[in-house]
Amino acid sequence: MTYEYEPVATPSSGLRLHLNENTGGCSPMVLASLHAMTGPQISLYPDYEAAHGAVAARLGVPDEQLLLTNGLDEGILAVSLAAMRGASPHDPFESVVPVPAFDMYAACADTAGARVVLVPPEPDFSFPLERMIDTIWERTRLVWLTNPNNPTGQIIPRDAISRIADTASGAIVFVDEAYVDFGGESLIGSALLDRHPNIIVGRTFSKAYGLAGLRVGALVGSPAMLAPLRRILPPYRINACAAIALPIACLDTAYYHWYLDQVHESKALLYDCLDRLGAQYWKSAANFVFARFPGSGPRIVRDLAARQVYVRDRSSLPGCADCMRMTAGVVDETRTLAAALEEVACGAAS
Ligand SMILES: *Cc1c(COP(=O)(O)O)cnc(C)c1O
């Protein structure tokens, strides 16, 4: 079996609530900094000192514990390549993915030569700790954890992460914190991260900061863990626009907090709507809500799309029959989503 990231349609008009993007655009200060760029800033290979320093300060990590990447996706690929070095095709290393999960983990680990082992979810999407522990053995070289999870928005308890890192002591434990800005607690700066040098934390500027189009991610870990990744990654992987924008994005905390507030209010609005419709949903620590409409999930996704409201059909993932994932971004747009949902879901009942 091979794993691939299936490209998702990106319609140019309508409400794009299917990719967890920041629906508020980026900081106006970031936009101004890009408008002010000069010819030489474009024509020369960029310098990363200011961007690296700004991100390290914003995340509260020493410079040597941070690697910037071309989107966290590039970090995921690099981690996969590093973890699978030395594997033999006859006796491959294993990569463990608790599902449902971001498709890139299995795709990249598979490409790097891993045997991918999927651990199915609990019915309520709580973290399957004991089954994860049972799955990890000496051939396990890479374990993927997403905290908060995409697509469910659920949090992995700290002691579960710690037990996994202990059990998989010969593996890289990658903790993807793409959504931690919105909820949950980052491992960065925690004693747990100091105790477990085999953990690498992933962060991104695509979601809370609204820089998905600029492609910036960050890997945080011990210098010894980052050294092999540094060798794998190309030297000029962050483009000049991203390098200029990052210090500004880190400075403009007003924009960042405005957006977090919008997301918070949007989630409350969606919960209300889903309660009224009698749908099942899971309280989310991320910038999206995962919901189930028994018997009509995919039909509702299609009916929303016909109204140019795009949400993500996740019904084909393990344990996710009739489930969809909806971005909770700017409140005005969420109101449009809620109104459309009420229309199409009630249409089903009549
Ligand atoms: C969006 C997302 C990423 C990718 O982020 P980029 O920085 O845009 O590459 C990584 N992990 C998860 C879980 C995501 O949802």
**What confidence tens digit (pLDDT) does each residue in 154-198 have?**
999 999 999 999 999 999 999 999 999 999 999 999 999 999 999
In sequence order, the 6+-apart residues with CB closer than 8 A to the CB of 137 are 94
CB of residue 102 inside a 6 A radius of ligand 1: yes
Query: Tokens 């449009």, residue?
Result: 336
pLDDT of residue 88: 82
Query: Counting Cβ atoms within 10 Å, is residue 265 exposed (0-12), middle (13-18) or buried (19+)?
Result: middle
Q: Which atom of ligand 1 is nearest the CA belonging to 216? A: 7
Query: Counting Cβ atoms within 10 Å, is residue 291 exposed (0-12), middle (13-18) or buried (19+)?
Result: buried
pLDDT of residue 8: 82
Q: In what order do the strands lie in the sheet with 140-146?
A: 66-69, 217-220, 199-204, 172-176, 140-146, 94-98, 115-119
Nearest-CA residue for ligand 1 atom 2 is: 178
Residue 72 C-alpha to ligand 1 middle, in angstroms?
A: 6
Q: Give 215's Cβ-side CA count (13 Å radius).
A: 11
Which residue ranges in the chain fall short of pLDDT 50? 349-350
How far apart are alpha carbons 77 and 81 in whole angstroms?
A: 6
- The preferred substitution site among 207, 239, 314 for testing ligand 1, maximizing ligand atoms within 8 Å of CB, is 207
pLDDT of residue 4: 82
Distances (CA, A) of 299 to 142, 292, 313: 37, 12, 9
Residue 270 C-alpha to ligand 1 middle, in angstroms?
A: 23
pLDDT of residue 349: 46
- The preferred substitution site among 73, 103, 216 for testing ligand 1, maximizing ligand atoms within 8 Å of CB, is 73
pLDDT of residue 273: 98
pLDDT of residue 7: 79
pLDDT of residue 10: 79
Q: Which atom of ligand 1 is nearest the CA belonging to 146? A: 13
Give which of 312, 292, 293, 287 is closest to 302, Cα–Cα.
312
How far apart are alpha carbons 72 and 30 in whole angstroms?
A: 20
Q: Taking a C-beta distance cutoff of 8 angstroms, is the pair 34, 327 a contact?
A: no
Distances (CA, A) of 3 to 103, 113, 114, 234, 313: 8, 11, 11, 24, 19
Give which of 105, 80, 66 is closest to 188, Cα–Cα.
66
When computed from its CA atoms, the radius of gyration of the chain, rounded to whole angstroms, is 20
Distances (CA, A) of 132 to 97, 136, 144, 167, 295: 9, 6, 11, 10, 30
In sequence order, the 6+-apart residues with CB closer than 8 A to the CB of 144 are 95, 96, 97, 98, 101, 105, 109, 174, 176
**Residue 51 dihedral angles phi and psi, to the nearest 5°:** -65, -45
CB of residue 72 inside a 6 A radius of ligand 1: yes
Q: What is the pTM assigned to this prediction?
A: 0.97
- The preferred substitution site among 72, 103, 239, 314 for testing ligand 1, maximizing ligand atoms within 8 Å of CB, is 72
Q: Which atom of ligand 1 is nearest the CA belonging to 207? A: 1
